[in-house]
Structure 1
Amino acid sequence: MYTPNHFKEARLPVLQALIEAHPLGAVVTHTAAGLDANHLPFDYRPPTAGAPFGTLRAHVARANPLWQLAGSEVMVLFQGPHGYISPSLYQEKPVSGKVVPTWNYAVVHGHGVLRALDDPLWLRALLERLTGHHEAPRAQPWAVADAPADYLDKMLRAIVGIEIVLTGLDGKWKMSQNRVAADQTAIAAEQPALAAWMAPNPTSGA
């Protein structure tokens, strides 16, 4: 990924925040048929001694050949907030007119080796974490245990877990860092979804 220094983001808490706020990742693999990508919602686990960049966990249908690529190096792409930036927002526009449009965005690329886990207990714990997190805002959250036991057992047999111990994380925050403060203020006002991510210490609070 081409990343000029002023757009480079390497702080692990910032990268982790984007993954947690936008957990749908694209797993890029190289197969016998060429490059492929699978889009999966991930559970991000914090760094440990054996996983200094953290760990990604998800599940796929048993019919999905992705899990059979266990042992392969993969890249997972996470895309955060993004938006079109009009040159009309720049201070230079009425002065010289020498401005052009651009697109602001934040992305994280995770690297690691794919592992497959065909373990019902591991899978159930993963599903409970994922649904517990995403159901939390609901007035009456759905829980895995709400499903009939025999139906749940059938569903668990139809999926396989995947785990990627991250060996590296690359971040690119193209958020108008190369523009003057007045331009940044105008952009944040027009694109409130980007405002929190344009700050010196970006968060997912927008």
Structure 2
Amino acid sequence: MYIPSQFEQPNIEVMHELIRNRPLATLVTLGSNGINANHIPLHLSSTPEPFGVLRGHIARANPLWRELAADVETLAIFHGPDAYISPSWYATKQEAGKVVPTWNYAVVHAYGLLRIIDDAAWIRTQLEALTQHNEAAFPESWAVSDAPEDFTEKLIGAVVGIEMVVTRLIGKWKVSQNQPSQNQRSVIEGLNARGQSEAVTMAALVNAGVKNVR
């Protein structure tokens, strides 16, 4: 991934936070038929340090686990908030008109070797951890144990576990750091004015960047 220095995110904790908040990964693997991409929710454990481990599961019918190339690095892409940035928002537009549209986004790339785990007890533990994490915000959270055991055992038999110890973690936060302060402020105003959840979230990221350089 191309990362100009001003967009590089070196903070592991910040990258981990994005992964936890947006766990649906684009999992890129190499198999017998070439490059493949699957969209899999992955649960992050911060140990082993420094980058942690990602765990999830896939359908047993998914050929990924049978066709995975051995000893070839896997890439998991976690997509953070993104938003179109209109040049009409830039304060400097009135001065010279030398402005163009762009797209702001935050993304994390996690690399490592993918391990296949075909073990019912491991899969149950992984399902419980993933469910607990994603249900935590609900007032009445659902647990795996809420479903009949024979029902869950049948479903567990239909999936295969996957695990990746992260060996490289790369973050890119393209959040208007390359713009002068007056444009950053007007971008925040423009994003907030849209009122959309993703735009408001991006406005907060741009604002955090502004505060960090003061």
Which TM-score applies when normalising by structure 2? 0.88
Which structure 2 residues correspond to residues 65-80 of structure 1 after superposition, within 5 A?
Answer: 65-68=63-66, 69=68, 71-80=71-80
Structure 1: segments with no counterpart, 5+ residues: none
Residue 123 of structure 1 is matched in structure 2 by 123
> Offset at 1:71?
4.3
Residue 197 of structure 2 is matched in structure 1 by none
Q: Could you say which structure has the higher helix fraction? A: 2
Q: Please say if 1:174 is aligned against 2:202.
A: no
RMSD over equivalenced CA pairs, Å = 1.6
Residue 161 of structure 1 is matched in structure 2 by 161
Indicate the SS of the match to 2:163: strand
| Residues 22-46 of structure 1, C-alpha deviations (whole Å, 9 max, x = no match) | 1110111122222110100110010
In 2: Cα distance, 1:201 partner to 1:79 partner: 22
Q: Which moved more, 1:76-85 or 1:127-136?
A: 127-136
> Offset at 1:201?
9.4
In 2: Cα distance, 1:173 partner to 1:122 partner: 34
In 1: Cα distance, 2:12 partner to 2:210 partner: 12
Residue 53 of structure 1 is matched in structure 2 by 51
In 2: Cα distance, 1:126 partner to 1:64 partner: 18
Indicate the SS of the match to 1:81: strand
Which TM-score applies when normalising by structure 1? 0.92
* Count of paired positions: 200
In 1: Cα distance, 2:73 partner to 2:63 partner: 15
Q: Please say if 1:193 is aligned against 2:201.
A: yes
In 1: Cα distance, 2:105 partner to 2:4 partner: 14
Structure 2: segments with no counterpart, 5+ residues: 192-199
Residue 20 of structure 2 is matched in structure 1 by 20
Residue 132 of structure 1 is matched in structure 2 by 132
In 2: Cα distance, 1:129 partner to 1:87 partner: 44
| Residues 54-77 of structure 1, C-alpha deviations (whole Å, 9 max, x = no match) | 101000011112222264320111
AA aligned to 1:19 is: I
Residue 194 of structure 2 is matched in structure 1 by none
Indicate the SS of the match to 1:63: coil
Indicate the SS of the match to 1:155: helix
